[in-house]
Amino acid sequence: MARFRSWVSIALAGAVGLTLAGCSSTGGKRAEDARKAASAQGRAAVNTPRWTVAMVTHSGDGDTFWDIVQSGAKQAAIKDNINFLYSHSDEAQQQAQLVDAAVDKKVDGLIVTLAKPDAMKAAVARAEKAGIPVITVNSGSEESKKFGALTHIGQDETIAGRAVGEELNKRGRKKALCILHEQGNVGHEQRCAGAKETFKGQMQNLYVEGTNMPDVQSSIGAKLQADKSIDSVVTLGAPFAATAVKAKQDAGSKAEIDTFDLNEKVAGGLKDGTLGFAVDQQPYLQGYEAVDLLWLYRYNADVLGGGKPVLTGPQIITKDQAAKLEEYTNRGTR
Amino acid sequence: MSAAAPGTPPLTDERLLKTSPLRKLMGRPELGSVVGAIAVFLFFAIFADSFLRASSLATVLYASSTIGIMAVPVALLMIGGEFDLSAGVMVTTSALVSSMFSYQMTANVWVGVGVSLLFTLAIGVFNGVMLTRTDPPSFIITLGTFLMLTGMNLGFTKLISGTVSTKSISDMEGFSSAKDVFASTLTVGGVDFKITILWWLALIVVATWILLRTRVGNWIYAVGGGEDAARAVGVPVNKTKIGLYMGVAFGAWISGQHLLFSFEVVQSGEGVGNELIYIIAAVIGGCLITGGYGSAVGAAIGALIFGMTSKGIVFAEWNPDWFKFFLGAMLLLATLLNAWVRKRAEATK
C-alpha cells in the first residue's frame, strides 16, 4: 500500500510538472477562448414569458452535426428568452418515448426530427392533441405536413444529391464513388440516388462501417486500389472526408474527394485543395430557425413556408468561400 | 459428515428450520433492487417537477415495459447460467419477419405474426442447440447469432423491400386486431397506458410462478448453480437450456410485434446494443452473472429503474449526455448493494 501511494504521488507530481513546463504558444484552449470571445454571446432580447421548447432528435451519442444544430437552437433560445431542452436517441422507440416525456412536461413548443416518420406519428399526434405546436427539422419533409406540424426546416436529401451530381458534371468527372457510412439510413440512400440521377458518369455505392474509422479507411482504400478509373469520391459526412483523403493517399489514387456537411477539417481541406467541394445544409440554421419560428408562432401566430418545407440547403461550398467559413467552423457554428 | 454419537438427539435438518419472515425477505435476490428503485423514484420525485404527473408515470411505465418484457426472460436465462447477446436484434428480426411475410404474401397480418413466432422460436432453438451440442460458451455462440441476425435484418430487408425499412402494412386485414393485442392504449382515469405494461406484468407473473412453484424452476436454478451436479441428479440440462433460449425468443417476439404494430414500419438496423440493457436490468435486479441466483421480479424492477432514469433525466431537464454515466454508476451501485445484501442474508442463516 505504502509503495502504491508513493507511486501515485510521483505520477501526480510528474503530471503537474509537465503541464507547467510544457506550455504551447499555438492552438489549445487559449486560442479557443479567443475565438469564443468573437462568437455571439447574449441575453434575452425580448420580454415575452419564459417559454419552454424541447427538441428531440434521432441523433446518436456525441454527434458533431447535432452539436451544431444545438448551438444554433441555444443561440435563438437565449435571444427569445426560451428555456431550451434537448434529448435524443437513435432508436425509434426511444425517440418516440422522449417525445412523450416532453409532452408530459407540457412544453410550449416541440421540435422533432422525422428520420423514422412512422415511429413518430403517434407521439407527434399526442403533442398536437395536447395543443403543443410542433416544428420538424432535418428529416421528414414529406411527412411533416401530414402529421400536422407547422413547418419543416431542412434539406431535401434528393435535391442535395442532385446538386452533387450537377457539380460533378461541372468538374468533368467520369466515375464516382458514394460512401454510405450508416447502413439503413434512408436519407443517405436518397443522397446517393439523387447524385446518381443527375451525374452523367458512373456512380457506385460503397457501404462502410461508420462507427469504425480504420474500417472506413481500408474499405475506401481497397476500392480505390481495385479500380484506378475512379476519379471522385463523395462522402456523406464531414468526418469521413479526411478519412477518404488518407485512403486516397494510401492507394495512390488521383480521385477528388468531395463531401456532404462541413467541419473544421473540411473547411481547411477545401482551402488547401485536398478536397474538391462540400455540400452544406447549414445545421446551425436548422436549430436556430426552429426555435425562432416557435417563438414567432407563440408570440404572433406566424408560420413560415406557406405549407412548403423551408430549405436550409444544399449550398455548394468550394475553395472560394472556404477561408471565411473556416473561422465559423472553428467556433462550432458551421 | 460423521454419524451422530449415540445418546445425543439427532439434529434437525437445517433445511427444515423455520426462518423468520424478515430473514426470508433479506434473502430475496430482488431486495437490493427494490431499495434502489425506491431511492431512484424519490430522487426524481424531488428533483423533477413533472415526474409525478400521472401521464409522466405512464410514460415511465411504458419505457420500463419495453425493456422489461425482454429483461424477464433474459433474467431466467441468466439464472440458468447463460447469456443471450442476440436478444436485442432478435426483436427487430421478429418484427421484420411478420411485416415482410404479411406484405409479400398479401396474407392476413395474423399469418405473419404466427410465422414470426415460429421463426423467432427457431432462432431460440438454434441458440440452445448450438450451445448444448458444441463446446463454445454461450457468450461466443450468441455473439455469432447476434452478428448474423444484424446482417440478415439489413440484407433481407433490402433484398425484399428494396429499402432499409419495411413497407407499411397498416391497411391490411387483421392489422387493427393485432394492434389491439400488441400496441393498443388503455385509458384509465384519463391517463393513457400502453398495453405492453400488461404484457410485462403477465410475463413477470408467469416467470415467477415457473421459478418458485414448478419443477422446471428448480431445474433452472440447478442448471445455473452447477451443470454437472444438476446432470448427476437427473435434471434434463440440455432441454432446460434450449427452453430458456426459447423463452428469450418468445419475449423478443412480443417486443417485435409491439414495435411493428405501434409504428407500422420497421427499421432494419435497430435493436443493436439493447441486449446489454436487458442484461443490465437483470443484474440490477439481483441476477448473478455466474448463474444460479436471481429472480424475475428483480429483473422487472431493474427495468423499472432503467425506465425511471432514462425518462427522469428528461423530466428533470438535465443534459442527456450524462445518461450513460448514470446508468453505469447505477449498475455498479446496484451490484455492490446486491452483493452486500446477499452476504448479510447468508451470514444470518
What pLDDT tens digit does each residue of chain B (349 aa) get? 444 455 555 556 666 667 677 777 777 888 888 988 998 999 999 998 889 999 999 999 999 999 999 999 999 999 999 999 999 999 999 999 999 999 999 999 999 999 999 999 999 999 999 999 999 999 999 999 999 999 999 889 989 988 778 888 989 999 999 999 999 999 998 888 999 999 999 999 999 999 999 999 999 999 999 999 999 999 999 999 999 999 999 999 999 999 999 998 888 888 998 999 999 999 999 898 889 999 999 999 999 999 998 898 889 888 878 888 888 888 888 888 888 877 877 776 5
Nearest-neighbour CA in chain B from A182: distance (Å): 9
Interface test with B, best of A53, A71, A118 (most B CBs within 10 A): A118
Average pLDDT over residues A272-286: 94
- Give B10 to chain A, closest Cα distance, Å: 50
H or E element that contains B192: strand B191-194
How do residues A48-90 score in pLDDT, each as one tens digit? 999 999 999 998 887 778 989 999 999 999 999 999 999 999 8
pLDDT score at B275: 95
Q: Identify the pLDDT of residue B2.
A: 47
Tell the burial category of A319 from Cβ atoms under 10 Å away from its Cβ (0-12, 13-18, 19+): middle
Q: Read off the pLDDT of each residue in A87-94 and give the average, rounded to a whole number.
A: 90
Strand A82-88 and strand A51-57: pairing? parallel
**A104:B259 CB<8 A:** no
Average pLDDT over residues A102-117: 93
**Statement: residue A1 has pLDDT above 70:** no
pLDDT value at position B94?
A: 97
Residue B55 has its nearest CB partner, among A83, A98, A104, at A104
Minimum Cα–Cα distance from B322: chain A residue: A61
Grid cell in block for residue A137 = 427539422
pLDDT of residue B195: 95
Q: Say how far apart CA A155 and CA A311 lie, in whole Å.
A: 5
Residue A184 predicted with pLDDT over 90: no
Query: B227 forms bridges with which residues in the sheet?
Result: none
Could you tell me which residues are beta bridge partners of residue B133? none
Q: Which pLDDT belongs to residue A41?
A: 66
Residue A238 has pLDDT above 80, yes or no: yes
Percent of chain A with pLDDT over 90: 64
Residue of higher predicted confidence among A266 and B163: A266
Any alpha helices (H) in chain A, and if so which ranges? Answer: 2-21, 28-38, 64-79, 92-104, 117-129, 141-146, 157-170, 186-198, 213-226, 238-251, 264-272, 283-300, 319-330
- A102 interface with B at CB cutoff 8 Å: yes
**Are B320 and A87 a contacting pair at CB < 8 A?**
yes
If pLDDT is split at 50, 70 and 90, which confidence band does A2 have?
low
Span A113-141, mean pLDDT? 92
Do the Cβ atoms of A51 and A108 come closer than 8 Å? yes
Q: Are the Cβ atoms of A119 and B62 closer than 8 angstroms?
A: no
Q: Name the packing angle between helices B196-213 and B237-263 (round to 10°).
A: 170
pLDDT value of residue A39: 57
Coil vs helix vs strand at A111: strand
* A91 interaction partners in chain B (CB closer than 8 Å): 270-271, 274
Q: Rounded CA gap, B266 and A57, in Å? A: 18
Using an 8 Å Cβ cutoff, are A221 and A247 in contact?
yes
Is some CB atom of chain B closer than 8 A to the CB atom of A189? yes
The three-state secondary structure class of A82 is strand
- From the list B59, B66, B321, which residue is nearest A101 (CB)? B59
B interface with A, Cβ–Cβ < 8 A, is: 50, 53, 55-56, 59, 62-63, 66, 154, 163-165, 168, 259, 262-265, 267-271, 274, 310-311, 313-315, 317, 319-321, 324
DSSP type of residue B286 = T
Task: Looking at the complex, report in whole angstroms how far the Cα of residue A87 sits from the nearest Cα belonging to chain B.
Answer: 6
Please judge whether A186 and B164 are an interchain contact, meaning their C-beta atoms are less than 8 angstroms apart: yes
pLDDT at B245: 98
Contacts of A105 in chain B (CB under 8 A): 50, 56, 314-315
CB contact under 8 A, B164 and A119: no
- Residue A38's pLDDT band, with cuts at 50, 70 and 90, is low
Residue of A nearest to B263 (CA): A119
Which of B267, B274, B314 minimises the CB distance to A92? Answer: B267
Q: Do A104 and B56 touch (CB under 8 A)?
A: yes
- What is the CB-side half-sphere exposure of residue B149 using CA atoms within 13 A? 34
- Grid cell listed for A210: 461508420
- Return the residue in B170, B182, B317 with the most chain A beta carbons within 10 A, the one to mutate for interface testing: B317
User: Which pLDDT does position A21 carry in this prediction?
Assistant: 64
Per CB-CB distance under 8 Å, the chain B contacts of A102 are 314
Asked if A91 lies within 8 A of B262 by C-beta distance, the reply is: no
Nearest in space to B301 (alpha carbons), one of B207, B230, B213, B210: B207
Does residue A20 or residue A109 have the better pLDDT?
A: A109
Q: Do A85 and B163 touch (CB under 8 A)?
A: no
Q: Give residue A36's pLDDT.
A: 62
What was the pLDDT predicted at B158? 84
The mean pLDDT value for A226-255 works out to 93
Residue in chain B closest to A187 (alpha carbons) equals: B164
| Cα separation values, B184 from B57, B168, B177, Å | 17, 18, 9
